[in-house]
Amino acid sequence: MPDEKQAMTIAEMQRTVDEYIGQFKEGYFSPLALMARLTEEAGELAREVNHYYGEKPKRKDEAENTIDMELADCLFILVCFANSLNINLEKAFHAMMHKFNTRDKDRWTKIDTE
Ligand SMILES: [Mg+2]
């Protein structure tokens, strides 16, 4: 397992999560439960974003979380989701970027680099 200060590939991330989940009899949640967990974590992320950038301050008794940690929670669930369905996230990520770089290549205004 790579140490926590080293850069990690998506494959290593998937392996790390699989080793972690593999310790427990419960294993991965079902796709529907993972979908619910992802929605929970997206809500927690939204709460932090609203706290830092929005109009809704936290109550004094609310836990101090960070956007970083909530993004990482979402990432963990996404990796669990992929692992539970035997999806290679690195391959899927490359396919997604290929789509952006081909189908959507003229969609956004390029920064003039000359
Ligand atoms: Mg969370």
Domain-by-domain residue ranges, the chain? Answer: 10-102
Nearest-angstrom CA–CA distance, 83 and 20: 12
Give the Å distance between the CA of 42 and the centre of ligand 1.
8
Mean pLDDT within 83-108: 96
Q: Is 107 helix (H, G, I), strand (E, B) or coil?
A: coil
Give the Å distance between the CA of 47 and the centre of ligand 1.
10
Task: Please give the single-letter amino acid code of residue 82.
Answer: A
The CATH H-level superfamily of 10-102 is MazG-like (1.10.287.1080)
What's the pLDDT tens digit per position in 35-52? 999 999 999 999 999 999
pLDDT value at position 3? 65
Give the Å distance between the CA of 92 and the centre of ligand 1.
24
Nearest-angstrom CA–CA distance, 62 and 47: 11
